Amino acid sequence: MKQKALSNLPNMLSVLRREVKNWKPPIVGTFAHGENALFKILISTVLSLRTKDSTTEEASKRLFEKAQTPEELLKLSLEQIEKLIFPVGFYHTKAKNLHRICEILIEKYHGKVPETMEELLALPGVGRKTANLVITVGHGQPGICVDTHVHRISNRWGLVKTQTPDETEMALRKILPKRYWIEFNDLLVCFGQNHCQPVSPYCSSCKIRASCPRIGVKSSR
């Protein structure tokens, strides 16, 4: 099953590259360009944990209207940050984490965002998803960012058979050709949010249905 899924992958990703042009890009993509993009990618991804994209987007925009650098963010009190990012999940904890992240960036990295997995994971509130997004989207370096969409679809396609996003990342690192690493998250997140949804995906109108084994799909539209 895995070998067949890998052989189908180039065509499936080629189709998705065309399809995603019709869908809204993942939230982090909206902050991936322009001045201070690296910092914005890091902060918006920290905010996105257990939070809907629409909520993350609005909270990030409010925060970045007041602060676009570590130095500017540290001028805000915790109460101000909480008010700006509410109602993202765990906003009290995230406000504290953002404050400490900015302190570390200034103390250790001259206000810059580090680019190694080890350095990023040492920042409070930063897990592998966030670190990989900063590495791939921000620094343009190879990495595999796995969220719930990438985890679900990779299993649905038969590429992996895993229980958690972290397990999926490690499994994909062993089998996924490196040329796909950077784009894999964006393509599958767009696909997962708009078409290949957790419950009752739109299989009848899916452009890659012929290549998809639909593992675990019990009902579809």
Quick one: how far is CA 42 from the chain centroid? 10
**Catalytic site residue 147?**
yes
Beta-carbon count within 10 A of 70 CB: 25
| Rounded CA separation 43/82 (Å) | 14
Beta-carbon count within 10 A of 204 CB: 8
State the catalytic residue, choosing from 40, 94, 147, 186: 147
| Rounded CA separation 97/123 (Å) | 8
Q: Which residues contact 50 (CB under 8 A, 6 or more apart)?
A: 89, 90
State the catalytic residue, choosing from 4, 129, 161, 186: 129
| Rounded CA separation 174/155 (Å) | 15
**Smallest Cα–Cα separation from 102: which of 70, 134, 65?**
70
> Token match 């065309």: residue?
18
**Catalytic site residue 52?**
no
Catalytic residues: 129, 147
